[in-house]
């Protein structure tokens, strides 16, 4: 399948109305050492992992769709000793849209000197008995404007 990358726009985080499943939120270890996270609810499940670090580059997001899954790959700008983490994932049935919020989590203790690297990540979202056709990914930067990407199935 072809991948399409869309230019980021600054918007705030919003929840879709009428979502039958609650958003899947961050959970698990607070030590920031986990490189792979799994989230699930009644209808939606997601995995998230950091797959690489590299010299700083701008944010990017692409997605591929297949059956009940959307696989999102992206790059998130550096943020000190913090690494990206999947904060929430939601599914909106009327639009077949999966929405992911990628936030930050500390990966080191306060005695660690951190470099400046962008993080490449991958997340696979599965929706039971539905075929997602739109992936919306929000890079939440907490102290600055968030960046939102939208990728549609071709």
* Residue 143 within any structural domain of the chain: yes
Domains in the chain, number: 1
Task: Count CB neighbours of 120 within 10 A.
Answer: 18
Each residue's pLDDT tens digit, 68-103? 999 999 999 877 778 899 999 999 999 999 999 999
d(CA 139, CA 100): 9
Asked whether residue 3 is assigned to any structural domain, the reply reads no
Q: Does residue 36 fall inside a structural domain?
A: yes
Which domain range does residue 85 map to?
Answer: 9-152
Conformational region of residue 18, where left means phi above 0, alpha means psi within -120 to 50, and beta covers everything else: left
- Report the pLDDT value the prediction gives residue 89, as an integer from 0 to 100: 94
pLDDT in the model for residue 80 = 72
For 28-41, give one letter per residue: b (16+ CB within 10 A) or e.
Answer: eeeebebeebebeb
pLDDT at 145 over 50: yes
What is the DSSP code (8-state) at residue 8?
-
């Amino acid at each position: 399948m072809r991948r399409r990358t869309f230019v980021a726009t600054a918007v705030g985080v919003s929840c879709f109305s009428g979502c039958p499943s609650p958003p899947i939120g961050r959970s698990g270890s607070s030590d920031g050492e986990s490189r792979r996270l799994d989230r699930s609810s009644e209808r939606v499940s997601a995995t998230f992992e950091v797959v690489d670090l590299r010299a700083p580059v701008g944010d990017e997001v692409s997605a591929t769709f297949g059956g009940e899954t959307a696989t999102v790959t992206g790059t998130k700008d550096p943020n000190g000793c913090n690494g990206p983490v999947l904060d929430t994932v939601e599914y909106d049935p009327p639009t077949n849209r999966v929405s992911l919020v990628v936030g930050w989590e500390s990966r080191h203790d306060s005695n660690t000197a951190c470099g400046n690297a962008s993080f490449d990540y991958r997340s696979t979202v599965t929706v039971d008995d539905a075929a997602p056709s739109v992936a919306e990914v929000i890079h939440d930067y907490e102290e600055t404007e968030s960046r939102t990407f939208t990728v549609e199935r071709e």
